[in-house]
Structure 1
Amino acid sequence: MSSSPEFLVFGATGQQGCVVARALREAGREVRAFVRDPQSERARALAAEGITLAVGDLFDRASIDRAMTGIRGIFSVQASSPSGLVTDEQEVAQGKAIADSAVAAGVAHLVYSSGGAAGKGHTGMGHFDSKSRIEDHIRGLPIAATITRPASFMEMMMLPGMGLNTGVFTFFMQRRQSMQMIALDDLGRINAQILLQPGRYAGQTLELSGQDITGEYLEEAFSRAAGHPIRYQRFSDELLAGNDFLRQLSALVDKGIVAGVADIPALEREFGPMLKLDQWLSGPGKVLFEEALNAPQAGISLR
């Protein structure tokens, strides 16, 4: 095996890129991670695992071009506007720049991580529609590409303010309404498999999810994991009335656009068993769950 990296991973210090880079490395492949700050804790952790760092900035096309040297497969993901780091237009520009650079460098295969709401018509929410625009751009390029559309991450439920530490967990779906979710570990290994078998997956768009989850199921699973009752409720009408972002997102869940449409049995036949919430809570998500459960109650609550 050559010591020259085969794969270039963008967003490598973020949630998705990190798990993809590690899954590729665990498969014995040489990986180059595109990072802005090589001295950050996450970048140093990647380097300690034998992942090569390419220092650059997604606003600097020349640094993207340099990172492409000798690469045959790319994982592309960008921050979106809810992060506060970029605007919707900047996300689109970055996604296009990576794809254009890959074409110019003669890269064989590009995997773009989009979103579950993409490709389903205009949503009116910029950070969803931006991904559809990037998808369209990639499809028009002379490069073998695979588009993956992950459902909501299980890890997302552990964000501050959701109420686990108060005994009342609040989220987007109604109690009996289903919403698809996926564990980041599954997302990492699936995207790595796609990169390792480009001939099998090039030209495909794959909706990714691990489980259909209702509010009632969340209540049961969280209560079991916590060892005491955790009640589930949707965001209150009062909160939704005063928060445009949450109101629009909840409406897209109700319409099914954000709820997820993945064929989970087909995914499991192709990629193997997916982590279910109970498994995640007792495994890779255990520390996150305990931190959220025991977080101080002072501060803003999204309820």
Structure 2
Amino acid sequence: MDKNPQSQEARNLKDAGAVLVKGDLEDVDVLKDTFKKVDGLYLVLPGVWVSSKETDEKEAELGIQTIKLAEEQGIEFVLYSSVMASDKQDRFRPKFKFTIEQYLLESKLQGAVIRPASFMENLLLPSFGLGEGKFINPLPEETAISWVTTQDIGTFARIIFQNHSDFNGKTIDFGGQLFTPRQVLELLEKKLDQPIEFVQVPLEMLYQQSEIFAKLVEMVAKEGYDPIDDKLISSWLPKLTSFEEWLDDTGIEKIRGLQSFGNL
């Protein structure tokens, strides 16, 4: 589903074999027609970069509205893409992704929840500053978190759909290697053969930008994330892409393509 099927990104998807539908999740009439024609729904809600109580509530409302419609139109299976530690975030985000998870798993639908770890591709966003030769880090330096490629998420989502009866009712934390921010920095410097300035964002500054994000960082610092069930994941997908493999395959090339790295 795409708001602009004529865009280059959409045409690339079409060339790769996708069938495009014009519309968005807020267009209920288009969704009704589309849902009558499909058996499964992979629900990924639009990203919000500066969260607030209002954006959280809007996301929860949109997710529940979409799942209700899927239920009404007889969708066979729904896979909802959430976020790691959504249940812990429920303490300070009472109406957010965990609300959607609960609604799905308590509905009459067959469904499952996947909670991906941090995307390696996020490093390409301006918020990390790699285009300016910086590594801007909001997390505690000593805290290791899991990382995963979006390609591996897509592969595992396909596996879930192909074996949906085995995953019905399950919530799966999905991620790979654990890296501290300093370890990520060292790997980037090694692969780029270039020094990168490490910029630690103070918690006070995070609170000025987004109280919700600051509370998330505090939670990660104090509690970390729950361990990932590597045995479950490897039983279906024996090998995930390592950080080094992602950098070698596509990551470094894309980072070099960022403005300040264009001459490396």
Q: Please give the TM-score of this superposition, normalised by the length of structure 1.
A: 0.76
Is 1:142 matched with 2:105? Answer: no
Q: Percent identity at matched positions?
A: 24
RMSD: 2.5
The amino acid of 1:35's aligned partner reads D
Q: How far does the alpha carbon of each residue in 1:235-261 deviate from its partner, in whole angstroms, 9 at most, with x for none?
A: 23563364334533321221335x463
What is the distance in 2 between the residues matched to 1:87 and 1:121?
Answer: 15
Q: Structure 2: where are the runs of 5+ without partners?
A: none
Aligned partners of 1:218 and 1:232 also within 8 Å: no
Within-5 A mapping of 1:16-55: 34-55=1-22
Is 1:107 matched with 2:75? Answer: yes
Is 1:58 matched with 2:25? Answer: yes
Aligned partners of 1:151 and 1:208 also within 8 Å: yes
Q: Structure 1: where are the runs of 5+ without partners?
A: 1-33, 297-303
The amino acid of 1:239's aligned partner reads M
Q: How far does the alpha carbon of each residue in 1:242-297 deviate from its partner, in whole angstroms, 9 at most, with x for none?
A: 4334533321221335x46323354223312111111111113233322347359x
Using the TM superposition, name which of 162-171 and 66-75 deviates more: 162-171
Q: Alignment partner for residue 205 of structure 2, among 224, 236, 239?
A: 239
Aligned partners of 2:89 and 2:216 also within 8 Å: no
Within-5 A mapping of 1:112-261: 112-120=80-88, 122-125=90-93, 129-230=95-196, 232-237=198-203, 239-240=205-206, 242-245=208-211, 246-256=213-223, 259=225, 261=227
Aligned partners of 1:170 and 1:232 also within 8 Å: yes
What is the distance in 2 between the residues matched to 1:112 and 1:228?
Answer: 39
Q: Please give the TM-score of this superposition, normalised by the length of structure 2.
A: 0.87
**Cα–Cα, structure 1 residues 83 and 53, in superposed 2: closer, same or farther, change >3 Å?**
farther
Aligned partners of 2:90 and 2:96 also within 8 Å: no
